[in-house]
Amino acid sequence: MRLEMTVLMAVCLGLLLLLADILRQIIRINRVLDEILDGHRDRRIITRKHSLLSGTCYKINQIMMDNQERIVQTKRLERRNEKLMTSLSHDIRTPLASVIGHLDAVYYQYVHGGMDAESVRQAREKAYILKEYLDSLFQWFKLNSREEKAEMETLDIVEETRTVFANWIAVFEKSGISYDLVSDMDEVLVGLDRIFYERIVNNLLKNATEHSGASKIWIEVVQADRVAAVKVCDNGKGIEQKALPLVFDRLYKADDARSGKGSGLGLAIARELVLLQGGKIYAKPLQHGICFVMEFPITEKKED
C-alpha cells in the first residue's frame, strides 16, 4: 500500500511539474505574442526541442514568418504602385492637356469660323496615345490582381507568329524598316492562349519599332529538344548588359538606348503573359541590337 501511495505521489508530482512547465511556456508564448501585437514582428517563440508545445511554437513562428513576408511584399507592392501611379499620372496628364488644348482651338475656330483640320488631327492623335496609356494600365492591374486566366489550346506557334507579324508589315514599310520571319520548322505545336500570345508579340514588335532605332526587325522560330523558342530581334541600339535584368520591370525605360514615348509597361505585361502560359522570356544582346526570346514547351503532335 505504501509503495502504491509513493508511486501515485510521484506521478502526481511529475504531472504538477509538467503542468508548471507548460504554464511557464504559455506565459512566455503570451509575452512574445503581446510584443508581436505591439509591432515587434521580428520576435520569435523559443522553446525546448522536445517540449510538448514545441510543435505549436514552431507553427506559430512559421505563421509569423509568412505574415512578415506578406507584409514586406505588400509594402513593396504599395511603393511600386505609388511609383506607377505617379509616373503614369504624369504621362497621362501631358497628352490630356494637349487634347484639351487642341479641342479648345477647334471650338474657338468653330465659333469664330475657319475650322483647322490640323488641330483635329493632333487632338485625335493625342487621344489615341492617352487611350494606349489607359489600356496598358488596365491590363497591368488585371494581371497584378490575378484576374487574367489563360485559356490554353494547342496551336501552331509558327502560324500564329506569322499572322501577328503580317499585321506589322505596313508599319515597317512606312517607317523604312526591313523585316523578315524565319523558322526551321513548318509547324510547331504549343499550348498557348491565342489572345495572350498576340498581345505579347505585338508588345515586343511595338517596343522594337518605337524604341530601338533599328533599320531591321525580324522574328525567328526555332525548336530545341522539347522547347519552341520565338526570338523577336532588332539591329538597333541594343541595351546595356547591366540593364538587361531590369528591362521587364514595371516603368523601366533604358535611358539612352531605347528611349522615347511609352508607358514603360509593355515588356512587364509581356513577361506576365508569358508566365501565365507556362513559358519564360529573357533578353539576349546581339553585337548590334537585341533579341527578346520566348520559350514554350512543345505539345505532342495531334493524332489524325
Residues 128 and 180 occupy one common structural domain: no
Residues 261 and 132 occupy one common structural domain: no
Q: Which residue bears the cell 468653330?
A: 110
Report the number of distinct structural domains present in the chain. Answer: 3
Mean pLDDT of 296-300: 87
Burial zone of 300 (CB within 10 Å; 0-12 exposed, 13-18 middle, 19+ buried) = exposed
Does residue 2 sit in helix, strand or coil? helix
Residues 283 and 179 occupy one common structural domain: yes
Lowest mean pLDDT among 211-220, 257-266, 275-284: 257-266
In a domain, 278, yes or no: yes
pLDDT digits (tens, 9 = 90+) for 60-73: 777 777 777 777 77
Q: At 11, which helix (H) or strand (E)?
A: helix 2-37
| Predicted confidence (pLDDT) at residue 219 exceeds the cutoff of 50 | yes
pLDDT digits (tens, 9 = 90+) for 79-98: 766 666 666 666 666 667 77
Residues 222 and 139 occupy one common structural domain: no
Indicate whether this model's pTM tops 0.75: no
Mean pLDDT of 11-20: 73
CATH number of the domain encompassing residue 188:
3.30.565.10
CATH number of the domain encompassing residue 121:
1.10.287
| Predicted confidence (pLDDT) at residue 294 exceeds the cutoff of 90 | yes
Q: At 211, which helix (H) or strand (E)?
A: helix 194-211
Mean pLDDT of 136-165: 81
Q: Are 41 and 71 in contact (CB under 8 A)?
A: yes
Domain residue limits at 125: 77-144
Which residue has better confidence, 119 or 114? 119
Residues 14 and 97 occupy one common structural domain: no
Q: At 233, which helix (H) or strand (E)?
A: strand 227-234
Residues 131 and 168 occupy one common structural domain: no
**Can you give the pLDDT at residue 186?**
85
What number of other Cβ atoms are within 10 A of residue 159's Cβ? Answer: 13
In a domain, 303, yes or no: no
CA neighbours closer than 13 Å in the CB half-sphere of residue 271 = 16
**Can you give the pLDDT at residue 177?**
93
Residues 184 and 219 occupy one common structural domain: yes
Residues 67 and 97 occupy one common structural domain: no
